[in-house]
Amino acid sequence: MELKVNSGIWGTMFGVPCIVADNLLKLATGEHLKVLLFILRNSGRNVSDEEISLNTGVPVSQVQDSILFWQQVNVITPDNQAFSSPVMQMTAPTVTAPETLPAVQPQSAQPLLQPVQNTQTPQPVQTTQPVQYKPRKKENLNPSEITKIIQSSSEIKELFTVAEQKLGDLNHTMQNTIIWISNYLGLKSEVIITLITYCAQINKKEPRYIEKIACDWAEKEINTLDLANEEVERLKQYNEFLYIVKRRFEMKHTPTTQQQEFIKKWQSLGIDMELIHYAYEKCLENTEKLSFEYINKVVTSWHMEGLKTIEEVDEYNKKYKNSNKNNSSSSSKLDLEKYKIFINQFE
């Protein structure tokens, strides 16, 4: 079969080291070549692992493996500038000679792998506020793709092993979830293991629930073992607090999102559970139904007054009623005096 090259799309070109085609094609995988082509095309500017992954479809972990491969064969070297992501710059392999350069390279004397100048106006590099990586939508990898990832990444393989111990046999959806959390949310292995262990302990083993917590941790930048353990402890305390509120309020269903916000507020204010239950009883006495809005207003007002026990609340209410009673009595006496003065005018 004869093949022809479509020269009509050769408007803009960039060079590929001859050593890649001559000596490294058998060693390089498809992912390796994708990563290299993207780096070559963007030579001279900083490119992050996430950007390479988004534009090539290669998982972040394999992007890192690919970069390491090309560094080991002396095709690329990282720049030492202080950017959040390394700037990949080309370096000349010692096994190639300048005369092997393609004819399309400029005729003036240039280093072997000098990148071709882009005709477009260069955009300034933002160094003060780097663009934050937004994880792309979760991919639905097929079983063969997942198997390939496991074979190429010892980190993912270890995560699967631990997850099976905590969650049982991993179905296809859970496997996708773990890979997505690791590769695209960027949570470290020890953090993911802590998350999975916590979810197993509270019997919340659904992939969607695990993804929800993982997204929350990524957003809060909880990505160290210490921070993960602190967050797990906070979640445990909240779940215990939530359970007691449900039992005291005789709720048979899980509180709504808005109701949970009230519960979180009461916990953060350190309001005693007996006081919350007392407010619940007052709510039923006055409204004959459960109203989180009512209870929240009551306990918040008590908190602002510095009342921390039922006894303090009762004493406060007693003084308030006596004060109103005295004010009412004084007002009656004042009205009586006014009436006498009015009557005397007609005598």
Q: What is the pLDDT of residue 322?
A: 73
Nearest to 49 by CA among 64, 34, 37, 38: 64
On whether both 249 and 215 belong to a single domain, the answer is: no
User: Residue 200: inside a domain, yes or no?
Assistant: yes
Q: Are 152 and 215 found together in one domain?
A: yes
What does R_g of the chain's alpha carbons equal in angstroms?
A: 34
Q: What is the domain range of residue 257? A: 243-304
Residue 264's pLDDT is 93
Same domain? 204 vs 250: no
- Residue 62's domain is classified under what CATH number? 1.10.10.10
Which has more pLDDT, 249 or 330?
Answer: 249
Query: Residue 72 above 50 pLDDT?
Result: yes
Same domain, 66 and 17: yes
80-128 pLDDT tens trace: 433 333 344 444 333 333 344 344 444 444 443 344 444 455 555 444 4
How many separate domains does the chain show?
A: 3
CA distance 113 to 106: 11
| 289 within domain boundaries | yes
Is the whole model's pTM more than 0.75, yes or no?
no
- Using the 3D structure, point to which of 63, 93, 123 is the last residue of a domain: 93
Q: How far is CA 343 from the centre of its chain?
A: 78
151 and 219 share one domain? yes
Query: CB 135: neighbour CB atoms within 10 A?
Result: 16
68 and 19, same structural domain?
Answer: yes
Assigned domain for 315 exists: no
314 within domain boundaries: no
Whether 18 shows a pLDDT value over 60: the answer reads yes
For residues 148 and 121, is the Cβ–Cβ distance under 8 A? Answer: no
Give me the pLDDT at residue 79, please.
55
State the average pLDDT for the chain. Answer: 77
CA 145: distance to chain centroid? 25
Asked if the structure places residue 321 within a domain, the reply is: no
Among 10-19, 59-68, 139-148, which stretch is predicted with the lowest mean pLDDT? Answer: 10-19
In the predicted model, is pLDDT for residue 284 greater than 70? yes
**What value does the mean pLDDT take over residues 186-191?**
94
Q: What gap in Å lies between CA 224 and CA 293, rounded to an integer? A: 37
**Is the pLDDT score of 231 beyond 90?**
yes
Which pLDDT belongs to residue 235?
A: 93
User: Is the same domain home to 256 and 286?
Assistant: yes
Instruction: Assess whether 153 and 197 both reside in one domain.
Output: yes
117, part of any domain: no
- Given 60, 93, 126, the domain boundary residue is 93
Q: Any residues with CB less than 8 A from the CB of 136 and at least 6 apart, and which?
A: 54, 184
**Last residue within a domain, chosen from 195, 223, 251:** 223
In-domain check, residue 342: no
Q: Of residues 177 and 346, which shows the higher confidence score?
A: 177
Answer for the pair 87, 73: CB distance below 8 angstroms, yes or no. no
Q: Which residues contact 237 (CB under 8 A, 6 or more apart)?
A: 267
Asked if residue 238 is part of any domain, the answer here is no
Residue 29 sits in the same domain as residue 88: yes
